[in-house]
Structure 1
Amino acid sequence: MSKFFASFSWSMSIILLVFVILTLEELVDGRTILSAANKAIIKTIKVDEYEIIDCYDIYQQPSLNHPLLYNHTIQMRPSMNPKNIKLDNFGMFQLTQTWHKYGTCPRGTVPIRRNIKHYNSTLSRKHRRPKFSHSETPNTLQPNDVTENHEYAVIRVHGNFLGGQAKINLWNPVVEAPIEISVSQIWVVAGQSDDFNSIEAEWEVCEPRYGDYQTRFFRTNINYCTNLECEGFVHISSDIALGCKFSEVSTFKGDQKDATFRIHKVRNSGNWWVEIQGISVGYYPSSLFTQLSKTTTKIEFGGEIYNDRSKGRHTIAQMGSGHFPSEGGLGISSYFHHVQVIDGSNVAKDPEDVETYVSNPSCYNLEIDKKHTNGYGFFYGGQGYNDNCP
């Protein structure tokens, strides 16, 4: 009899193991997840071994675990949009991300990229801007000054704004391993030192975060918590996933791809919305901020790289297309077109009293497009290490 029970127990163990394996395969194939532990995930989409998208019930997304968002009522769209923004600013490019080829998230869910690669977000934030960045000390930094290994080619405007937007050229720049980054962004900031608030909307290449060197949609907030690593950002789009690859980027002297990025504040709620190509991705509730709940002090547009000098020289990390504005414009160097700030009356307009900041012009540079063929804009970028950039 004991042999019978032992055999029965062994058979049941095998059956249970097979059941678990089949269940895991079903999760990756994109079928409905029934496990109580994953009841918030309605569907899973596998792109490759490094990219898996979980479609979360919008009302059970991890961001809502933030203590300030208990019982938060989700807004499904901005209650007000800026005035004087041209709808044709989105151009002909249909924005897609690579995961779209493998499935879609149902209505009422939001796509969240699963963190497959072991990634230390604390390490990453260490390599983002320090508390005292170049933007907080504009009168003390001179050309060729580098703040904690970060280098910039940006324009900035000072004042009280409700946000900004720009059409940003999409590229796939070379980034040197192991921890360097290349970013093109809009950056909204307020406050200083320990009371410093910021929001960024951008594309970036960052191997430590994603496990590859692809160009991805990225956003960060107050303390440089990136994408959905920290609670607080309320994701509402079922079409756009943070941290996921763009399916198309520009080619040198070939087809140019760009997307309109926008950060804007809705006055009646105080919420800060992040949008790309006319799609409202989500928002930061006003309650998360100390300074941005009131107003901005500055908005920046442009490129940033992190130079680790791991090989005893300047990094070869490219900014933008990897080509200087002096080498040529459209199709050669990267661009920001239709740059606008949103004033206190919720009207989008060309920036005024623009300040240009280039931390190391021998490595990366920026030139204003004086022709204004595509609204207010500029060309920027560079190759990094060269004879003049040792």
Structure 2
Amino acid sequence: MIFFLNQTAVLMTYGYNYIGASGEINVWNPRVEKLPEFTTAQIWLKNGEVNNFESVEAGWTVHPAEYSDARTRFFVYWTVDGYKKTGCFDLTCYGFVQTSTEIALGGAVDPGSSSFQQQYVLPINIFMDPTTTNWWLVFHDIYVGYWPGSLFSLLKHSATSVEWGGQVYSVNVRKTPHTKTAMGSGNDAEELYGLACFIGQPRILDYSKSYKYPTFVGIWKDEYNCYSAVNYKAGNANDEATFFFGGPGQSYRCP
């Protein structure tokens, strides 16, 4: 993976010491135009410089080059150098240690959502065990496995940023013609529930040991004409916002 070939649309929080994050990731099966392009919806926990960060990541992806088909699949990832030379998907290199036999890393995620039909979610929780400095991945209530703290120099203490959202990897980003690989559901974020992909109940865990909605959040969109994002709060001011993101890639707004 090459950092500058990634386009993201994310909800982010940063500036504190985070030892966990969670969220319910809406499941879709977006289009991937060609190899080796891929698309994800995921959670990142990061520490380090913008182009040389350490991260642990999990969510779903459509990645035909990695999995030999266009199905939506559960994945984990890590890097210690901003994707330059380290890291991999699932168990394809040393790194993530799987402890559960109930969940298949790289396994197909079924069923997926469709427009104005039942919406399915992937509940993901990632947290650090302060005693071992290992980062654990929990799916529903199943402890899938962990990233050893020994992989990291910065993340063995904490993450300094958390991101929830999507990414598209392609050599045809930031250029014309743009890739047609979609993010999320393939619909724009502004189309909201039933059409756009969302991540519900985003939570952070800090040294207070209590999961909570982050105090400060922002939205980042690398290519806002191609992949959009909105943190939408309906009606009641006391309601929690839901983060929507995605888009079709190449379109009349994104030639």
Same fold by TM (over 0.5)? yes
RMSD: 2.0
> Deviation at 1:375?
4.0
Computing the radius of gyration from Cα coordinates, the structure with the larger value is 1
Note if contact 1:339-1:376 (Cα within 8 Å) is conserved in structure 2: no
**1:58 maps to which residue?**
none
- 1:325 match: 189
SS in 2 for 1:318: coil
Pair 1:382 & 2:247 matched: yes
Aligned CA distance change for structure 1 residues 343 and 193 (closer, same or farther; 3 Å): closer
The 2-side partners of 1:307 and 1:271 are apart by 32
Tell me whether 1:248 sits opposite 2:111 in the alignment: yes
Amino acid at match of 1:383: P
Counterpart of 2:48 in structure 1 is 191
Structure 2 Cα separation of the partners of residues 284 and 205 of structure 1: 22
Alpha-carbon offset, residue 331 of structure 1: 0.9
Q: Indicate whether 1:353 and 2:195 are aligned.
A: no
Once residues 286 and 206 of structure 1 are traced to their aligned partners in structure 2, the CA distance between those partners, rounded to angstroms, is: 27
User: What are the equivalent positions in structure 2 for 1:225-264 lying under 5 Å apart?
Assistant: 225-264=88-127
Query: Residue 304 of structure 1 corresponds to which residue in structure 2?
Result: 167
Contact 2:33 2:179 in 1 (8 A): yes
Q: Distance in 2 between matches of 1:351 and 1:382?
A: 25
Q: Which has the higher strand share?
A: 2
Alignment of 1:186-225 (within 5 A): 186-192=43-49, 196-222=53-79, 223-225=86-88
Check the 8 A contact 1:319/1:383 in 2, yes or no: yes
Could you state the TM-score of these two structures normalised by the residue count of structure 1? 0.60
CA distance in 1, matches of 2:116, 2:103: 28
- Counterpart of 1:287 in 2: which secondary structure? helix
Contact 1:307 1:314 in 2 (8 A): no
Distance 2:239 2:252 in 1: 33
Change (3 A) 1:316 1:348: same
Equivalent runs, 1:102-113 vs 2, <5 Å: none
**For residue 150 of structure 2, what is the aligned residue in structure 1?**
287
Residue 227 of structure 2, aligned match among 364, 368, 373: 364
Counterpart of 1:152? 8
Structure 1: stretches of 5+ with no match in the other structure:
1-124, 131-147
> Are 1:170 and 2:170 matched, yes or no?
no
CA distance in 1, matches of 2:47, 2:7: 21
Q: The residue matched to 1:208 in structure 2 has which SS? A: helix
Mapped pair 1:341 → 2:238? no
Structure 2 portions without partners, runs of 5+? 80-85
> Which of the pair has the greater relative contact order for Cα pairs under 8 Å at 6+ separation?
2
Question: How does the TM-score come out when normalised to structure 2?
Answer: 0.90
Deviation at 1:377, TM superposition (A): 2.4
Partner Cα distance (1:366, 1:194) in 2: 22
The DSSP-based 3-state class of the residue aligned with 1:209 is: helix
Contact 1:251 1:331 in 2 (8 A): yes
Which stretch shows the higher mean deviation, 268-277 or 158-167?
A: 268-277
